[in-house]
Amino acid sequence: MRRAIRLFLFMLAVALPALALPGGARAQELVADSSRHLVAITTGFVGTEVLLFGATEGRGDVIIVVRGPTRTEVTRRKGRHGGIWINEAEVRFTNVPSYYWLASSKPIDKLLRAEALDRHGIGVEHLAFATSKKIGERDLAGFREGLLRNKVKDGLFTTKPRDIAFLGDRLFRTTIYFPANVPTGPYTVQVFLVRDGRVAGAQTVPLNIAKVGIGADVYHFAHTSSALYGIFAIVIALAAGLLAGVIFRKV
């Protein structure tokens, strides 16, 4: 509760100067920030929420897009061969955000035209992925939909924009949810101010998602000094096995 009050006071502090400035002055049209700039994945991590808030100068609608680091995703299609389902074809999509989250104060197609949505990558249908292979348009659409469906199933893509709550006309807030399997790395949170069918202002809020603590050390160790990690894993197992043998022999 106290945290909420502090946050609200902070929001006011952010918003008040914007409110105090006369219209037409060269004020920042949009200010936004998040409750955290680092999401730490610790041993007990089960997913978390991050509060995103801000204020707009004058009327307007807000769209928020959160993206994880891009990576290459392999999408595979199964087919039935000899009675069992086997991966029979694959397409590699590059430039796929590992996480994609979207919120809007109104349905996005009512705020911006398709070209603008494409340009800013607002909405999963408007994301441009590059593919590795030449394959037919219809086949490709199937793979693309398969990719999106799996990402939604894993809780990493949001297809239906989430709500943004306005307090009065100017203060807005929303909550971003990151599931337990959230990919790590630098994230970008883009906040767009939309007025009269065009983007009137934009701001990027930095956000980092990183593994910390023992889990992070283990992961780092396994990926940077793989051979040493392998030996370490064997030694631990040998020690644990011998220790267990000794303990239970005495019992």
Partner 1 sequence: MQIYLPIAEISLDVFLLLAMGGGIGFLSGLFGVGGGFLMTPLLIFIGVTPAVAVASEANQVVAASVSGVFAHMRRGNVDFKMGAVLLAGGLTGSSFGVWLYSLFRAMGQLDLVISLSYVAFLGIIGSLMLAESLRAVLRRRTPGAPRRKLHQHTWMHGLPFKMRFRKSKLYISALLPFSIGFFVGILSAIMGVGGGFIIVPAMIYILGMPTITVVGTSLFQITFVTANVTFLQAVNNQTVDVVLALILLLGGVVGAQFGGLFAGRLPGDYLRLLLGGFVLFVGGVIMFNLVVTPDDIYSIGRVAGR
Strands 198-211 and 38-41: parallel
Residue 248 near partner 1 by CB under 8 A = yes
- With binding defined as CB under 8 A, does residue 153 bind partner 1? yes
Distance (Å, rounded) from C-alpha 77 to C-alpha 178? 28
Among 4, 19, 28, 42, binds partner 1 (CB under 8 A): 42
231 binds partner 1 (CB under 8 A): yes
Question: CB of residue 96 vs partner 1: minimum separation in angstroms?
Answer: 9
Stretch that binds partner 1, among 30-38, 39-47, 111-119, 202-210 (CB under 8 A): 39-47
Which positions from 59 to 98 touch partner 1 by CB under 8 A, shown as an x/- string? ------------xxxxxxxxxx--xxxxx--x-x------
Q: Which residues contact 159 (CB under 8 A, 6 or more apart)?
A: 123, 124, 148, 152
Cβ-contact 49, 178 below 8 angstroms: yes
Angle between helical axes of 226-250 and 214-224 (0-180°, round to 10): 120
In the complex, minimum distance from the CB of residue 84 to partner 1, in angstroms, rounded to a whole number: 4
Residue 133 as a binder of partner 1 (CB under 8 A): the answer is no
Are 210 and 39 a contacting pair, CB within 8 Å? yes
Cα dist from 119 to 24, 29, 33, 64, 168, whole Å: 28, 21, 23, 15, 30
Q: Whole-number minimum distance, CB 100 to partner 1, in Å?
A: 14
Binding status of residue 136 toward partner 1 by CB under 8 A: no
Q: Is 31 helix (H, G, I), strand (E, B) or coil?
A: strand
Bridge pairing between strands 70-81 and 84-97 = antiparallel
Q: Which of 50, 103, 105, 151 binds partner 1 (CB under 8 A)?
A: 151
What number of chain residues touch partner 1 (CB under 8 A)?
61
Nearer to partner 1, 37 or 78 (CB): 78
C-alpha closest to that of 34 among 185, 241, 177 = 177
The least distance separating partner 1 from the CB of residue 251, rounded to whole angstroms, comes to 8
Q: Given the structure tokens 């983007």, which residue do they identify?
A: 199
Residues in touch with partner 1 (CB under 8 A): 41-46, 71-80, 83-87, 90, 92, 142-143, 145-147, 149-151, 153, 180-181, 211, 214-216, 218-219, 222-223, 226-227, 229-234, 236-238, 240-242, 244-246, 248, 251
